[in-house]
Structure 1
Amino acid sequence: MGRTVEIQVLLPAHRDSPRPTVYMLDGRSASSDANNWTVRAGALRFFADKNVTVVFTLGGPASYYTDWRHSDPKLGTNRWETFLTRELPPLIDARFGGDGMNGLEGVSMGAEAAMMLAARNPGLYRAVAAHSGCYSMSSDFGQAQARAVVGTFGGDPDNMFGPSDDPQWADHDVLAHAEALRGKAIYLSSGSGLPGEHDTPDNPDLRNAVLFGGPIEAGADMCTRQLADRLAQLGIPATVNRRPTGTHSWPYWADELPRSWPTMAAGLGIG
């Protein structure tokens, strides 16, 4: 990407043998200072006793962690797929004792990115968990939501995959390429969009969670059902948790971190 890209690496307490690596992808507002999995989901505490190296991405807001066709005046040069799949894993394995087994976990924008990266690089990942994402990048709804995400940060979506009829949109469509996910441990989750246990009067972000996070999560739930149905049609096993309530907000994703771990750990061969 023509610049120094910082990441955060969490190492296990015992480092006397090689171990898998899990890459944690942030949502659309990804900050260059901290990954929301650490700030808002308790990931440091959760992974403290796990025999795994955890890599937290920094930066890349509204990038979908993919390779953009063109540099963007607002969002800069995004070549995240190249960085995450070709440049970074060999460095992590060599520096921090990786055993070559990798997993991906993402939320919202990062959920779609995790599935895209896993489908487009099937030999690299053994496990993938995605929470509250959309996975049909070339459908009318899928492209509209992706364009909206990029637009909220002032970016031009055409700089990502080109105009609406560009083949790159279909090339990054997980539903269209779901067969590539065969053989991986897969965990999917979403809420219905209805207020749930975290949407209470003492939540300082209640208004945004309900008014904005409710409809967004309802859309993500539809997307999650579509991918779950497609995987079932193909006979590809997946653990799916579609909750009857829950908005598009971090308290629910924090809950999903421990729920998704058994699937991730099994795929990575962690006892």
Structure 2
Amino acid sequence: MRGVFGRRSTRRAGSWLKRSVLLSLAVLLPLGASVAGPAGTASAAFNPDGIDFWVDSSMGPIKSRVFRAADGNTDRVVYALDGMRARYELNGWENDTEIVRELTAANMNVVMPVGGPSSFYADWNAPSNFFGLGSSGSSGSSSGSANSGSGLLSGSAGPGKETTYKWETFITENLRYALRDQLGFNPNGNGVFGLSMGGSAALTLAAHHPDQFRYAGSYSGYLNISAPGMREALRVAMLDAGGFNIDAMAPPWGPQWFYMDPFVFAPQLKANGTRLWISAGSGLPTGVDGPSFDTVNAMALEALALANTRAFQVRMASLGANNVTYDFPAAGIHNWVYWADEVRRMIPDMSANIG
């Protein structure tokens, strides 16, 4: 018996695993602690069409921003997940892009959870701390910036540090049914998409909650987190994006860690028939990217995401999955400009497969 992958697929997957290792080291060594978070500056900011929707949870009250479909329907709902540097004022999709206007114009209700830096939108084992020490609290309350500094104890106290992150429970129970009970939103057959950290999380949520999520999109996601070197790459990224400890999220190489790895749970996505949109850029900049350290950083991050995403593609192909659309643009780095373009390309397919 040739095994799950077969000899050819095993060689191809092995090649991508080796590239993941090399790219992990490339990110870790020259760029130091700056590996986390997307590049680019805000180009949109607060959208007055949205409403603040607060829901109680074990983490305390959590805000989401909700935007209503243009035709007023309550059946078509999509969740937009943020990246590793998620802030507590606005979701990055609102702060850095204008895509919500196009989603609502396509008659989809948009839900943007706010906060959860470095969370992977997962249920963690414990509050994040180091040797019993939590956040320095130097940046004030949890309503402030979650990524105002870098280093071991950077960022404010609050969700994830004073309390344990329980984002999966929040999205699939607390928020889901509050939206149903208060706004009449359909709790089933929804879509979910995200960038980077949020792309990985979108696939995790869809795999384990297929009744809620019929559709999932990942842009520049880390879809092979058990590849050699990836855990340590993520460790450095999470330290930089708010001073979070990956060991509080999940122990290495155990059931909880594999539960979060799209490469591992790929068979569930195939069996569920979840409609997927998977994308990553080449890591090559274009004219919109200026010559800067941020651009070089974003190139390395996108190259790592591309290696992870290609490995996931090989994995799905080995399973004979035909429920995926892949898009690998010839140019594009870890930047909101490219993720916004990807949403625009995805909208027709997502619109046809939710509700």
Same fold (TM over 0.5): yes
Q: Residue 188 of structure 1 aligns to which amino acid in structure 2?
A: I
Q: Residue 267 of structure 2 aligns to which amino acid in structure 1?
A: E
Which structure exhibits the higher relative contact order, with contacts defined as CA atoms closer than 8 Å and separated by 6 or more residues? 2
Which string of whole-angstrom CA distances, capped at 9 and with x for unpartnered residues, describes residues 229-257 of structure 1? 21122122211111222111111111111
Q: Superposed, which structure 2 residues align to 1:16-55 within 5 Å?
A: 17-55=73-111
Match of 1:174 in 2: 262
Cα distance in 2 for residues equivalent to 1:48 and 1:168? 35
Shift in alpha-carbon separation, 1:144–1:263, aligned structure 2, 3 A: farther
Cα distance in 2 for residues equivalent to 1:69 and 1:54? 29
1:144 deviates by 2.5
Cα distance in 2 for residues equivalent to 1:208 and 1:103? 35
Match of 1:196 in 2: 286
Alpha-carbon contact 1:194-1:245 (below 8 Å) kept: yes
Which string of whole-angstrom CA distances, capped at 9 and with x for unpartnered residues, describes residues 39-86 of structure 1? 212123212312221100101011111010001224422100000112
| Aligned partner (choices 191, 200, 225) of residue 103 of structure 1 | 191
Alpha-carbon contact 1:102-1:127 (below 8 Å) kept: yes
Q: Residue 54 of structure 1 aligns to which amino acid in structure 2?
A: V
Q: Residue 83 of structure 1 aligns to which amino acid in structure 2?
A: F
1:217 aligns with 2:302: yes
Q: Residue 211 of structure 1 aligns to which amino acid in structure 2?
A: V
Shift in alpha-carbon separation, 1:45–1:165, aligned structure 2, 3 A: closer
Alpha-carbon contact 1:136-1:143 (below 8 Å) kept: no
Cα distance in 2 for residues equivalent to 1:225 and 1:147? 22
| Aligned partner (choices 162, 166, 169) of residue 79 of structure 1 | 166
Cα distance in 2 for residues equivalent to 1:45 and 1:165? 41
Partner SS, residue 189 of structure 2: strand
Cα distance in 2 for residues equivalent to 1:209 and 1:254? 18
1:266 aligns with 2:266: no
Partner SS, residue 243 of structure 1: coil
Match of 2:63 in 1: 6
Q: Superposed, which structure 2 residues align to 1:145-184 within 5 Å?
A: 145-152=233-240, 153-162=242-251, 164-182=252-270, 183-184=273-274
1:169 deviates by 1.4
Cα distance in 1 for residues equivalent to 2:336 and 2:294? 9
Cα distance in 2 for residues equivalent to 1:123 and 1:256? 25
Q: What runs of 5+ residues in structure 2 fail to find an aligned partner?
A: 1-57, 129-133, 136-159
1:66 aligns with 2:122: yes
Partner SS, residue 89 of structure 2: coil
Percent of pairs with identical residues: 33
Coordinate RMSD, CA, aligned: 1.6
Which string of whole-angstrom CA distances, capped at 9 and with x for unpartnered residues, describes residues 82-139 of structure 1? 0011221111123223232211010011111111111122232110011001112222
1:197 deviates by 4.0
Match of 2:224 in 1: 136
Which string of whole-angstrom CA distances, capped at 9 and with x for unpartnered residues, describes residues 5-64 of structure 1? 01100012332x431210100001101101111121212321231222110010101111
Match of 2:113 in 1: 57
Aligned length: 262
Larger Rg: 2
Which string of whole-angstrom CA distances, capped at 9 and with x for unpartnered residues, describes residues 185-233 of structure 1? 110111111112422x4xxxx5144210001100101111111121122
Cα distance in 2 for residues equivalent to 1:149 and 1:71? 18
Partner SS, residue 104 of structure 1: strand
Q: What runs of 5+ residues in structure 1 fail to find an aligned partner?
A: none
Q: Residue 116 of structure 1 aligns to which amino acid in structure 2?
A: T
Alpha-carbon contact 1:178-1:230 (below 8 Å) kept: yes
Alpha-carbon contact 1:34-1:58 (below 8 Å) kept: yes
Partner SS, residue 267 of structure 1: coil
Cα distance in 2 for residues equivalent to 1:40 and 1:189? 19
